[in-house]
A and B are shown apart, each in its own frame.
Chain A
Amino acid sequence: MKAFRAHTGLVVPLDRANVDTDQIIPKEFLKRIERTGFGEFLFHDWRRKPDRTLDPDFPLNQPRYAGASILVADRNFGCGSSREHAPWALEDFGFRAIIAPSFADIFANNCVKNGLLTVVLPEAQVAAIMKRAHETEGYRLTVDLEKLEVRDDSGFFASFTMEDFNRRCLLEGLDDIGLTLQHEAEIAAYEARRFGAR
């Protein structure tokens, strides 16, 4: 897994609540059997008009946000379907971190597995970031997982928390399947205890 320590990048605001994974990556793009190549379909139906041309009103399509790597959104981001294609698409598009007041559980889990950081901040702080990203062209933030801080160079500062194990997995880019497999003896003993000898 890709490690995440700290990242500084351009911020794009997506001022919507309850953004579901059907919007992040619509179902017609879930039939690929690879892990890569989902970025071009990110937010497909919001980014593209029915004739498939880009909608200039959608933030991700605006030149000032080209190359953004930090997405800021409203509460309950990533709700709905468990499709890991959603973080794959965000990551493939170039995002490294998402900031919101809350995230859906399965989506947040899936992000950790893909080195994509989800930062939970109070609504007022998210609103402050959103405002700055709207008002200041080229607005950049630093998201620092080692220090558990979000900051810009014009005075914005917020600290956040993250569950220790997930933080360590991200910082070190750990293979968590490998970690579980180190406990083969315990798993085998558990199976023997519950199901008897095999």
Chain B
Amino acid sequence: MTTPATSPRTLFEKIWHEHVVFEPHGQPPLLYIDLHLVHEVTSPQAFDGLRAAGRSVRRPGRTLVTVDHNVPTTPGHLPITDPIAARQMEALRRNCEEFGLALYDIDSPDQGIVHVIGPELGATQPGLTIVCGDSHTSTHGAFGALAFGIGTSEVEHVLATQCLPQQRPRTMEIRVNGLLPEGVTAKDLVLGIIGTIGTDGATGHVVEYTGNAVRSLSMEGRMTVCNMSIEAGARAGMVAPDEVTFAYLRGRRFSPSGAAWDKAVVRWSALRSDPGAHYDRLVEIDASSLAPFVTWGTNPGMVAPVTATVPDPAAASTAAERGAAERALAYMALAPGTAIEDISVDRVFIGSCTNSRIEDLRAAARVARGRKVNAKVRAMVVPGSQAVKREAEAEGLDQVFRDAGFEWRDSGCSMCLGMNPDVLQPGERCASTSNRNFEGRQGRGGRTHLVSPMMAAAAAIEGHFTDVRKWRF
């Protein structure tokens, strides 16, 4: 099963090989999990399972727990008006106490979206295997980790054993040549990729993103790209670690320090695909051909450049695609041929594990500075974590947003999936920096258009989509 150490290996193969505990006869390899991230929504039934079987958590120190999906984003995360959400958060509290797990609770200065706090605490590191009961766990692959989402039964499996039986996935290289033009961001890059390969284009594969455009991205940008790997069906997304990665990690709470840091950097520097390493598939993308993108339909693959028009389903290549496009346009209340820039919005959401980090907020603030949110738009900025919030406030970004008429909120998943009170009303149209434009995702009957933070801020100001490349700052 494993490739001999002498032949060229991909980044994925190196991490996989290092983590195979052993290969039982007639069973998939048993993979060791270095870091398990846990949140309130996908864990209660897993803890119940442990209790029912009389099992304990094998490695509490490798388990990082927070509340993010349900938390209100009103000041101080209060009040919690939903008794069922409160019960779920209380269950996590009790489970952490019973099983001896540290919890970054609602009142912790370290609370935040689990995929934001893992990296910012330095818990996410190159070469680790990381899982979480959340599909956007692929985010952590930005550090050269093998990180993937799992279901609740697997959450229980990892809690009990720190291992998962795993079939080895296939590999895919997505090589992004050239450089992204000004105003075209990591979000546009990943939307462009999904638009090209489709929402199941990477199913069964671990994707490694390579090429100049990827190397040139900040850690925040790489996290945005890896985050949305799952929207192309990928098992995981990865970027090999480099100086950008090391600079981000240096000095963080759980990062190694002193001599251990130097040793870690040597080890991490070897985590790159060898020349000539074999991937099962290769996709090449020309970064210079990309534009700011806006989704027009009900999955992230239904995407168009801001300068384009809403496509005509009649032009679809198959009957199934035509039907899907017709259904999506009916839900989105859009006519074929409408210029994307003529689509007006009621709401704007800047946040989520895709785009709520400090660099995302800086980009949005650059657009918002000295301008005003359109009178008919309600716009909201939700930092990904308490730490991001503090950093943004120290830079005065909160004031930029408030002055422009944006609401400045507390940290959480918020309107990305609307499990807390932040939801769209039926028929409302939203420019959102999140990751899914599925029907009803942000609230039943709500219409979501996925965009970058700059594009979202610009839409808030104009009241409709607009090409941010034409703006002067």
A interface residue numbers (CB < 8 A to B): 16-18, 20, 22-23, 26-28, 30-35, 45, 50, 74-76, 79-84, 87, 102, 104-106, 109-110, 113-114, 163-165, 168, 176-177, 179-181, 183, 186-187, 190-191, 194
A16 to B325, CA, bound (A): 11
**Which B143-165 residues have C-beta < 8 A from chain A?**
149-154, 156-157, 160-163, 165
Task: Select which of B21, B162, B417, B439 is within 8 A of A23 by beta carbon.
Answer: B439
Interface centre among A45, A164, A177 (most CB of B within 10 A): A177
Q: In the bound complex, do residue A109 and residue B32 qualify as a contact, i.e. CB atoms below 8 Å apart?
A: no
Q: In the bound complex, do residue B44 and residue A22 qualify as a contact, i.e. CB atoms below 8 Å apart?
A: no
Residue B356 CB within 8 A of the other chain: no
Minimum distance in angstroms from A50 CB to a CB of chain B: 7
Q: In the bound complex, do residue A45 and residue B135 qualify as a contact, i.e. CB atoms below 8 Å apart?
A: no
Knowing A30-B41, A82-B133, A186-B21, the reply to whether A23 touches B438 (Cβ < 8 A) is: yes
Residue B235 CB within 8 A of the other chain: yes
Residue B28 CB within 8 A of the other chain: yes
Q: In the bound complex, do residue B200 and residue A82 qualify as a contact, i.e. CB atoms below 8 Å apart?
A: no
A139 to B290, CA, bound (A): 49
Q: In the bound complex, do residue B161 and residue A27 qualify as a contact, i.e. CB atoms below 8 Å apart?
A: no
Q: In the bound complex, do residue A45 and residue B426 qualify as a contact, i.e. CB atoms below 8 Å apart?
A: no
Minimum distance in angstroms from A89 CB to a CB of chain B: 13
Task: Select which of B161, B231, B324, B439 is within 8 A of A187 by beta carbon.
Answer: B161
B interface residue numbers (CB < 8 A to A): 21-22, 24, 26-28, 30, 32, 41-42, 44-45, 48-49, 53, 55, 69-70, 82, 84-85, 87-88, 91, 133-135, 149-154, 156-157, 160-163, 165, 167, 169, 199-200, 203-204, 230-231, 233, 235, 299, 320, 324, 327, 417-419, 426, 436, 438-441, 444-445
Q: In the bound complex, do residue B149 and residue A82 qualify as a contact, i.e. CB atoms below 8 Å apart?
A: yes
Chain A residues lying within 8 Å of B135, measured Cβ to Cβ, are: 80-82, 106
Knowing A18-B199, A80-B436, the reply to whether A187 touches B162 (Cβ < 8 A) is: yes
A168 to B25, CA, bound (A): 13
Q: In the bound complex, do residue B150 and residue A165 qualify as a contact, i.e. CB atoms below 8 Å apart?
A: no
A114 to B440, CA, bound (A): 26
A119 to B153, CA, bound (A): 20
Knowing A34-B45, A190-B22, the reply to whether A163 touches B91 (Cβ < 8 A) is: no
A103 to B63, CA, bound (A): 29
Knowing A32-B84, A181-B161, the reply to whether A82 touches B445 (Cβ < 8 A) is: no
Interface centre among A16, A30, A45, A114 (most CB of B within 10 A): A30
The 15 sampled A-B contact pairs (Cβ below 8 Å) are A18-B299, A18-B324, A20-B436, A27-B419, A30-B69, A31-B84, A84-B45, A105-B203, A106-B149, A114-B153, A177-B156, A179-B165, A180-B161, A180-B165, A186-B22
Q: In the bound complex, do residue A30 and residue B440 qualify as a contact, i.e. CB atoms below 8 Å apart?
A: no
Q: In the bound complex, do residue A113 and residue B84 qualify as a contact, i.e. CB atoms below 8 Å apart?
A: no
Closest A residue to B85 by beta carbon equals A31
Q: In the bound complex, do residue B157 and residue A17 qualify as a contact, i.e. CB atoms below 8 Å apart?
A: no
Task: Select which of A20, A27, A76, A165 is within 8 A of B165 by beta carbon.
Answer: A165
A166 to B42, CA, bound (A): 22
A20 to B298, CA, bound (A): 10
Task: Select which of B150, B165, B169 is within 8 A of A176 by beta carbon.
Answer: B165
A105 to B327, CA, bound (A): 25
Kindly list the 3 A-B residue pairs having the minimum CB-CB distance in the complex, ordered from nearest. A113-B153, A33-B44, A110-B151
A84 to B157, CA, bound (A): 14
Knowing A33-B88, A104-B203, A106-B135, the reply to whether A26 touches B153 (Cβ < 8 A) is: no
Q: In the bound complex, do residue A109 and residue B439 qualify as a contact, i.e. CB atoms below 8 Å apart?
A: no
Chain A residues lying within 8 Å of B204, measured Cβ to Cβ, are: 105
Chain B residues lying within 8 Å of A102, measured Cβ to Cβ, are: 200, 203
A163 to B320, CA, bound (A): 29
Minimum distance in angstroms from A187 CB to a CB of chain B: 6
Minimum distance in angstroms from A133 CB to a CB of chain B: 17
A110 to B152, CA, bound (A): 8
Apart from A32-B88, A164-B26, A183-B163, 16 more pairs, CB < 8 Å: A31-B41, A79-B200, A82-B150, A84-B42, A104-B200, A109-B150, A109-B154, A165-B26, A165-B27, A165-B28, A177-B157, A179-B165, A180-B157, A183-B22, A183-B24, A190-B21
